[in-house]
Amino acid sequence: MRKPGQQLEYIPYPDKDALAGTLVAFANSDGGTIVLGVTPEGEVTGAFSSEDAENVLREAVTSCSPPVILGDIHVEEVSDGLEAYVLQVPRSQELHSLADGRVLVRSGSRNHPLGGQDIRHLAATKSTGSFEQETVAGASIDDLDDEVIAEYMEKREERTGRAWKGTKEALLRAIGALDTRGEPTVAGILLFGRNSHFFLPQSGLVFVHFLGKEPRGPGGLPGYTRREEINGPLARIIERAWQVIWEDMTKEAVVRGLVREERTEYPKVAVREALVNAVCHRDYRIAGRKIEVRMFSDRLEIVSPGGLPGYITLDNILEEHYSRNPRIVNGLMQWGYIEELGLGMDRIFESLAKNGQPPPKLDSTPYRFMLVMQNVRRPVVTPEWEKNMNERQLRALQYLQEHGRITNREYHKLSPHVSTETLRLDLVDLVERGVLLKIGEKKGTYYILK
């Protein structure tokens, strides 16, 4: 049973005001689903007859200004003949308010009223329309990649626990990848396009790794060691961008107990969430500019075309949520790239803090949003003798640091599935490198750090 959240609300008993508030909040935000006659804990109340549902819904809709246009409405039999009424509320291109003038938006699992300046920002954003819903000139359903669609459907079924019963085309229309005439939308090409960059050249990502702290080398020469342009469906862009960043990140081996871990310049969670945010929330109307990922010796910059959407500001970015591209967001959420709406930025802050790094620096202008992760780790100078050390030897060093000495028998306990001869050669190698000192002979032999 899903809990109430950014796009889900339960109204267990007839309540016109609660329903109207949620209708307005969903329509002003990313849309959502309202379940009538069920508690947040999953208990069916049986409080709604079909007549009750019609009456309260009619009263709630007419108390919204302008009235909220609903999507699909259907009845689900939950248990023992008890029914729940499920309402789909699409995101609206209009600004809606309640009869008392309040403008509500959805914030997590609550309906939150906006103030004057935020209302103006939201109204200005809605008036521009939704670019992701527009059809793409010259594109047809044949330009969508069947393999990518099949992957999406598989991940969607895993996430929801329900298989899609209709046709592939019906699903693509339901999620906004096709319009009512079966023509691909911007969202459809971005999510599933075989050659999305052909129709939307701005849809890709550029990665550049610079040598130092500046984008130029000595004498004004290019100062980068790697530059890659990444195109394709958005899921592929995220995965390839992460792979490239991972390959270029400095890593150091840390042995904890008997496990060798890789410690990187930036935590994996923070980087992946930042990439997903950039792909989801950039303004795809801005042609001629791609997402840019710039890696320097002291920082990682991720620059997304388009400023903050809706009523989001640098001050409320951790508390509020508003998607410029809700269909793209929902598509990537069903794909598994987003765990829960509205928590991406929180996860970035939390993972950096756990890694001992400062919070990211955020900067926004009307035409771009930039997130900067600072790499404050001191460069680790690895001794020459340690560079080619295997995991068994690293475990031996960890053991020596904790106990001061190690015997052949103790070393065998650390690596019980390795032959005695291989372990003996490991220790001989460390002695020859000058890392260990051998003390004693035969059964009395043990080793200490030199």
Q: Tens of pLDDT along the chain (450 residues)?
A: 688 988 899 999 999 999 999 999 999 988 899 999 899 988 888 888 888 888 999 999 999 999 999 988 888 877 777 788 999 998 888 899 999 999 999 988 899 899 888 888 888 777 555 889 999 999 999 999 999 999 999 999 998 888 898 899 999 999 999 999 999 999 999 999 999 999 999 999 999 999 888 887 656 666 788 899 999 999 999 999 999 999 888 877 665 555 556 678 899 999 999 999 999 999 999 998 999 999 998 999 999 999 888 888 888 888 888 888 989 999 999 998 988 777 788 899 988 888 888 899 999 998 899 999 998 754 444 455 555 677 788 888 878 877 888 998 898 888 887 888 888 888 888 888 888 888 887 778 888 876
First to last CA, the chain: 60
User: What's the structural domain count of the chain?
Assistant: 4
pLDDT value for 380:
43
Q: Omega into 4 within 30° of 0, i.e. cis? A: no
Same domain, 208 and 267: yes
In which residue are the tokens 């550029």 written? 206
Q: Is residue 290 part of a domain?
A: yes
Same domain, 355 and 404: no
The residue segments making up the domain with residue 438 are: 384-449
pLDDT value for 256:
57
Same domain, 367 and 221: yes
Same domain, 194 and 212: no
pLDDT value for 78:
73
pLDDT value for 415:
83
**Total residue count of the chain as it appears in this document:** 450
Tell me how crowded residue 210 is: count the other CB atoms within 10 A of its CB.
21
What separation in angstroms does the CA of 147 have from each of 166, 191, 194, 204, 439? 18, 12, 9, 20, 62
Helix, strand, coil shares of the chain as percentages rounded to 5?
A: 40, 25, 40
CATH number at residue 363: 3.30.565.60
Q: Is residue 3 part of a domain?
A: no
Q: Domain boundary at 170, 185, 201, which?
A: 201
Same domain, 427 and 437: yes
Q: Domain boundary at 64, 97, 115, which?
A: 115
Same domain, 324 and 405: no
pLDDT value for 388:
66
pLDDT value for 381:
45
Same domain, 266 and 363: yes
pLDDT value for 316:
85
Determine the Cα–Cα distance for residues 348 and 133; give it in Å rounded to an integer. 29
Same domain, 111 and 33: yes
Which tokens go with 97? 């308010």
Determine the Cα–Cα distance for residues 143 and 324; give it in Å rounded to an integer. 24
pLDDT value for 399:
84
Q: Is residue 439 part of a domain?
A: yes
In which residue are the tokens 């359903």 written? 141
Same domain, 12 and 80: yes
Same domain, 389 and 442: yes
What separation in angstroms does the CA of 180 have from each of 27, 33, 168? 21, 21, 14
pLDDT value for 254:
61
Q: Domain boundary at 346, 374, 402, which?
A: 374
Same domain, 230 and 171: no
DSSP labels for 50-73? HHHHHHHHHHHHHTEESPPPP--E
Helix axes 234-248, 268-281, angle to 10 degrees: 150
Same domain, 315 and 422: no
In which residue are the tokens 């001992």 written? 356
DSSP labels for 10-48? EE-S--HHHHHHHHHHHHHTT-EEEEETB-TTS-B----
CA angle 349, 355, 360 (to 5 degrees): 35
